[in-house]
Amino acid sequence: MDSELMPIGSTLGILGGGQLGRMMALAARVLGIRTMVWDPQPESPAFLVADHHLSEPYDSEAAWDAFVSRVDRVTYEFENINWRLAQRIAEEKPVFPSFDILRICQERLREKDAARAFGLATTPYRRVQTAQDLLDAAKDLGTPGVLKTVSGGYDGKGQVVIGNAAEAIAVGQQLEASRVYIYEKWVAFTREVSVVVARDVHGNLVTYPATENHHHRGILDYSVVPAGVSEKERAALESAARQLASGLELVGVMALEFFVTDQGEILFNEMAPRPHNSGHWTIDAAWPSQFMQHVRAVAGWPVLTPRWWSPVVMVNLLGDLFLDGDWSRLTRVAAMDGVQLHWYEKREMRPGRKVGHVTILADSRDRALAEARRIKEMLGGQWHDGA
């Protein structure tokens, strides 16, 4: 069953009902594959497009029965799902990507260890649990560095920059005794780049063009394709992504994030075993989209060699832009040529919350960037150059 083609009309279970689950369900719909989304949040954006949904806690036995009995195969839209839940589901129904990949991606130390094991370079890092560990790490690996919780952090949450030994001592006093951390040497990168890779049950593996990412306050602000990297760097990024995805025997889509330094070093930072925010541009400027590719691979269909036809910029829309409840700016942008709005239908607009994105296609990278800037400003947002 694991490697069989999921027939049209069968049901894909999706753990997590945010925008990624929603875009997965929309892709499944195109193929005639039904979806059942499980998310404890009653107003999950994916519920609006799924055939069935369960708004129950993940530890509910009744929900477990209802989910497992109804779905033919399972995937997940975010990596903070307890991997033991995925493992337990896998005893009944195939789960892709495997719960083991999920387990690795949930923990920064495991993730970087795995990347190294498959031959990828990373910045120096070390496990930290006590104040002494932190001071030793800062001394041995050098400062500046960044201390991160090994699990549970996302969008830059749970991270603190350590500038020198004195700061390492001060931060060391505040460590939570039950938590594990990772100390990483700070990377003076010139670019942050991600690569989306898809691999099917037969081992066919394809990659999308490298995407350049710009963050603001730890949250992805905008992505640009083509990335501003050399041909050599592009090839190295692609081969690193291939190495890791095939090493992990991925089935589905995975995104790998890298730092590119001015020395041309490619350093792995982290990965997500699912479609990724930095791959949203593939919906409008590539074929098939990362979501279609993910559904195909998870459903046992072969992945397709991606085609890409236009320079593109994807701009994230955060709740901050719409706190005043005025939608007229958004309507104006949605009506522009060369611009596609994706709205996630989240009920509540909160600062820092991703509520939609826009994709801007143009005939050059620079024109797409200029247009993206204009649109961000039309929406009342600020453009963060080279952020």
Q: Report the C-alpha gap between 266 and 123 in whole angstroms.
A: 10
| Residue 121 found at the interface with ligand AMP (CB under 6 A) | no
Q: Tell me which stretch binds ligand AMP (CB under 6 A): 21-29, 180-188, 312-320, 350-358.
A: 180-188
The closest alpha carbon to 39, from 30, 31, 29, 50, belongs to 50
Q: Which amino acid is at 145?
A: G
Q: Are 11 and 72 in contact (CB under 8 A)?
A: yes
Can you tell me the distance from the alpha carbon of 181 to that of 49, in angstroms, rounded to the nearest whole number? 38
User: Of 251, 248, 247, whose CA–CA distance to 73 is shortest?
Assistant: 251
Judged by CB under 6 A, which of 270, 293, 297, 312 binds ligand AMP? 270
Dihedral over Cα of 221, 224, 161, 80: its sign = positive
When the beta carbons of 146 and 341 are compared against ligand AMP, the nearer one is 146
Residue 41's CB: how many other CB atoms inside 10 A? 12
Shortest distance, position 122 Cβ to ligand AMP, whole Å: 9
186 binds ligand AMP (CB under 6 A): yes
Residue 133 touches ligand AMP, criterion: CB under 6 A: no
Cβ 28 to ligand AMP shortest distance, Å: 28
- Show the site string, 216-255: x = touches ligand AMP by CB under 6 A, - = not: --x-------------------------------------
Q: Whose Cβ is closer to ligand AMP: residue 40's or residue 158's?
A: 158
Binder to ligand AMP among 74, 120, 138, 187 (CB under 6 A)?
187
Q: Could you report how far apart the first and last alpha carbons of the chain are, in Å?
A: 46
Region binding ligand AMP by CB under 6 A among candidate stretches 49-57, 186-194, 230-238, 339-347: 186-194
- 80: buried, middle or exposed (CB in 10 Å: 19+, 13-18, 0-12)? middle
Residues of this chain, 192-221, that bind ligand AMP according to CB under 6 A = 192, 215, 218
Strands 339-343 and 11-15: unpaired
Nearer to ligand AMP, 11 or 223 (CB): 223
Total number of residues binding ligand AMP (CB under 6 A)? 12
| Chain contacts with ligand AMP (rule: CB under 6 A) | 123, 146, 156, 184, 186-187, 192, 215, 218, 257, 269-270
